Amino acid sequence: MASQDITPVGRDSAKVSILYDPKIRGYIFQAVAVLVIAGFGYWIVNNTITNLQRARLASGFGFLDGRSGFDISSSPYLTYSSDSTYLQALWVGILNTLTVAFVGIITATIIGFIIGIGRLSHNWLIRKICTVYVEVFRNVPPLLVIFFWYSGVLSVLPQARQSIGLPFNTFLNNRGFFFPAPVFGDGAWLAGVGLLVGIAGTFLVRRWAYKRQMATGQQFPVGWTALGLIVGLPLLALAVKGFPLSFDYPVLGAFNLKGGMQVGPEFMSLYLALSFYTASFIAEIVRAGIRGVGKGQSEAAHALGLRAGPTTRLVVVPQAMRIIIPPLTSQYLNLTKNSSLAVAIGYPDLVAVGGTILNQTNRSIEVVAIWLVVYLSISVLTSLFMNWFNAKMALVER
Amino acid sequence: MKNIVLKGALAASALVLLANAASAATLDDVKKKGFLQCGVNTGLAGFASPNDKGEWSGFDVDYCRAVAAAIFGDGTKVKFTPLSAKDRLPALQSGEIDVLIRNTTWTLSRDEQGFDFPGVNYYDGQGFMINSKKLSGINSALQLSGASVCVQAGTTTELNLADYFKANKMEYNPVVFEKLEEVNAAYDSGRCDAYTTDQSGLYSIRLTLSAPDDHVVLPEIISKEPLGPAVRQGDSQWADVVRWTHYALLTAEELGITKANVEELSKGDSPEVKRVLGQEAGTKLGTDLGLTNDWVVNIIKAVGNYGEIFDKNIGAGSPLKIARGINAQWSKGGLQYAMPIR
């Protein structure tokens, strides 16, 4: 047998002791290493839990069912009062964090794209203004940007009695931005149906127009049709029902404007600060992405007869997106995490509400664990979504 | 998932916790360290605030110095840790500070969650302050329905506020900040209509506003706020040191022992004064407490008696001018009552 041929002379060729078999030895070492690490981990965790229990620091999550006893200034989605539980208070905080992160991401993306493209403009003034914007916001800590909006801009607005009146019965004072709240009467549901039908119709029209263009080369004004469908159908529905829609206008009460809807200065400053701050980074990412697309691409598009607009929209941007999306994900995660700076201006986000709960119940370990888990989950979900989006935008090789 | 992450978080904090693990014999630790680490307010005029040279002064600060003087015979052997309302109890629990003297309300839940309150150095109650120039028609807290109220996060104040408005069927909008300075700034800029905290705090904060005379404290007191020093539970020797330091300050006032005459009185012949000041032959009152027998002399030499501390920092001799009220000696109709030192 071949294997026997290479066995050194003078050894028992049939059996090598298991201890000396390099493969088995490898397994043994690996197993020992795993056991040691697992044992160390177990010892640390066990030791900590014992110590925490001795110090009466950790006692599980049962306290979350207790009555919170404190009020939260802003709870747009859930009914919350001091009779609600700590768990409900946490949900209010989580939703507030998600709200500011969501609208912040959208606004930051829009501003970022405008500034990023502006930095590549042929117009000297636009280019320089965008450069100054990026350099200013990129080089200032986000907390200072938040303070700038909160103390520098919003708190110097006039008192409630001298509110600044804006068009459409909206008002601005140092307690926030006030606008009329729509009150839907009987039959207003038809407008909602109209909106849904409009959105569905838009999708169908787009598909049909794409197919027609592929087949005949003729284009169809999809944008205008969509606008007509989405705005027109609900309006038509309202007209049919005799406009069952009224508005609740903000009026001056004893202390402040009453009625209508309001957005507090805490939310506004956090939202504006996060959007403006993150937009400066997004602008640089967008600029890098567009510069990353070879010049030959747009030259080729021009040679084929495409005008500047369609060249940017159909040739440059789709390729730039592949460069832009991965670093954009990091910026979205940063914005979400930076929203925890809300605690400095009293916006009831997850950290602020959690901090209050921590102090009222003295369950620091549990609350910190909840913070970690929630932020981790939000970040992982954002990453998953962006990875999916990235895969969708990635180069499809034929 | 939650459990795994919790365990991970616990493991991560394990080393920190092991290093800081609160040892049972705080008095021995403090003596070994050579100074007292005292948790105080980040800046509440009259109670604890640093001056431009970084020297701390105030009612609570003098209590820290008194405890240091009782242990070391030297009121300067103390280091101060300024703490926000949110951080104060975890700081005590983790062993970062030895004693917390920071306008902390004694409540059952705090007492039961690993803390001990050796005494009450200031009996307080929660009130409201408004800008009387802007809200001239308002002279009662019951007229505050619909107001925005500034409050510090994580305090008993925040809970009393919710209870009070609910009980009186009034609405309000809480504006909550974590740091005292942030609450003060928000109220001063007109973000809120009213400011609520302990009445002593309101008087103190009023002084720091841009126009103190425009603001009034409304008459209603909506809660009981017994403020006092706090220590970790399970170390009764240490709790005793803090408790009897408080009683020594009160007893000294009762017996008329002051910073100025303590030296002279300790040579006098009043048996009670001699016993309190540790001049009785064969006395073991101080050493039994783990201190020296002249501990009361040291305390009074360092900071004066309770009345002197009160007057100098928050009473008639200070800008706050808070009346003694229920904080007077029991013999003068107040609630301050020292157990006998014998």
DSSP readout, B220-271? ---S-EEEEEEEETT-HHHHHHHHHHHHHHHHHHHHT--TTTHHHHTTS--H
Query: What pLDDT score was predicted for residue A55?
Result: 67
Based on the domain organization, do B116 and B11 belong to the same domain? yes
Please, what sign has the CA dihedral across residues B175, B176, B180, B181?
Answer: negative
**Secondary structure (DSSP) of A184-219:** E-TTTHHHHHHHHHHHHHHHHHHHHHHHHHHHH---
Based on the domain organization, do B114 and B248 belong to the same domain? yes
Based on the domain organization, do B40 and B130 belong to the same domain? no
Based on the domain organization, do B173 and B138 belong to the same domain? yes
Based on the domain organization, do B76 and B38 belong to the same domain? yes
Taking the CA of residue B188 and the nearest CA in chain A, the distance in Å comes to 10
Domain final residue pick, B172, B196, B223: B223
Check B154 against A356: CB less than 8 A apart.
yes
| A:130-189 residues touching chain B, CB 8 A cutoff | 151, 155-156, 159, 174-175
Taking the CA of residue B274 and the nearest CA in chain A, the distance in Å comes to 41
Is A8's pLDDT higher than 70? no
Taking one residue from A and the other from B, the number of pairs with CB-CB distance under 8 angstroms is 151
Cα(B237)–Cα(B30) distance, rounded to whole angstroms?
12
Domain final residue pick, B223, B243, B262: B223
* Cα A43 to the center of its chain, rounded Å: 38
Chain B positions in Cβ-Cβ contact with residue A159 (cut-off 8 Å): 134, 190
Based on the domain organization, do B22 and B117 belong to the same domain? yes
Of A55, A175, A343, the CB nearest to B178: A343
Query: What pLDDT score was predicted for residue B8?
Result: 47
Kindly report, residue by residue over A321-347, the tens digit of the pLDDT: 888 999 999 999 999 999 999 888 889
pTM of the predicted model over 0.80: no
Residue B41 lies in a domain: yes
| Mean per-residue pLDDT pooled into runs of 10, chain B (342 residues) | 46 44 76 95 91 92 96 95 88 92 91 91 94 86 90 87 92 88 89 91 90 89 93 93 96 95 89 91 90 94 95 92 91 94 90
Nearest to B248, CA basis, from B275, B226, B228: B275
Question: Which whole-number Å values give the CA distances from A24 to A4, A27, A28, A195, A324, in the listed order?
Answer: 20, 5, 6, 68, 48
Of A49, A256, A352, the CB nearest to B146: A256
Check A48 against B177: CB less than 8 A apart.
no
Position with higher pLDDT, B119 vs A251: B119
Query: What mean pLDDT is reported for chain A?
Result: 86
Chain B positions in Cβ-Cβ contact with residue A351 (cut-off 8 Å): none
Based on the domain organization, do B206 and B301 belong to the same domain? no
Cα(B207)–Cα(B58) distance, rounded to whole angstroms?
14
Position with higher pLDDT, A280 vs B219: A280
Residue B333 lies in a domain: no
Query: What pLDDT score was predicted for residue B5?
Result: 46
Of B135, B161, B176, the CB nearest to A348: B176
Query: What pLDDT score was predicted for residue A180?
Result: 82
Where exactly are the structural domains of chain A?
Answer: 2-54, 86-155+266-393
Non-local CB neighbours of A10 within 8 Å, separated by 6+ positions = none
Based on the domain organization, do B131 and B205 belong to the same domain? yes
Based on the domain organization, do B316 and B232 belong to the same domain? yes
Based on the domain organization, do B10 and B116 belong to the same domain? yes
Non-local CB neighbours of A106 within 8 Å, separated by 6+ positions = none
Query: What pLDDT score was predicted for residue B92?
Result: 93
- Which chain B residue's Cα is nearest to A354? B154
Most A CBs within 10 Å, among B182, B191, B192, B193, to test the A interface = B191
Residue B311 lies in a domain: yes
Domain final residue pick, B172, B190, B223: B223
What CATH number does the domain containing B151 carry?
Answer: 3.40.190.10
Contact present, A236 and A201 (Cβ < 8 Å) = no
Nearest to B103, CA basis, from B218, B205, B185, B192: B205
Contact present, A154 and A174 (Cβ < 8 Å) = yes
Structure tokens at B72: 């070391």
Over residues A18-39, mean pLDDT: 89
Question: A86-155+266-393: which CATH number, 2.160.20.10, 1.10.3720.10, 1.10.10.10, 3.40.50.10320?
Answer: 1.10.3720.10
Residue B340 lies in a domain: no
Is A6's pLDDT higher than 60? no
Lowest mean pLDDT among A116-125, A189-198, A270-279, B202-211: A189-198
Tell whether B170 lies on the interface with A, counting CB pairs under 8 A.
no
Check B10 against A255: CB less than 8 A apart.
no
Beta bridge partners of B194: B130, B149
Based on the domain organization, do B317 and B306 belong to the same domain? yes
Cα(B299)–Cα(B289) distance, rounded to whole angstroms?
14
Q: How confident is the model at residue A15 (pLDDT cuts 50, 70, 90)?
A: low
Tell whether B303 lies on the interface with A, counting CB pairs under 8 A.
no
Task: Give me the number of domains chain B comprises.
Answer: 2
Taking the CA of residue B154 and the nearest CA in chain A, the distance in Å comes to 4
Query: What pLDDT score was predicted for residue B299?
Result: 96
Check A159 against B175: CB less than 8 A apart.
no
- Does the structure's ipTM exceed the value 0.85? no
Query: What pLDDT score was predicted for residue B162?
Result: 92
Query: What pLDDT score was predicted for residue A36?
Result: 96
Tell whether B161 lies on the interface with A, counting CB pairs under 8 A.
yes
Kindly report, residue by residue over A120-159, the tens digit of the pLDDT: 888 999 999 999 999 999 999 999 999 998 888 877 787 7
Residue B338 lies in a domain: no
Query: What pLDDT score was predicted for residue B21?
Result: 44
Residue B246 lies in a domain: yes
Query: What pLDDT score was predicted for residue B292?
Result: 93
Most B CBs within 10 Å, among A61, A63, A67, A70, to test the B interface = A70
Q: What is the residue range of B241's domain?
A: 2-123+226-327
Based on the domain organization, do B40 and B186 belong to the same domain? no
- Which chain A residue's Cα is nearest to B112? A56
Lowest mean pLDDT among A1-10, A18-27, A135-144, B311-320: A1-10
Contact present, A356 and A86 (Cβ < 8 Å) = no
Of A73, A254, A364, the CB nearest to B173: A73
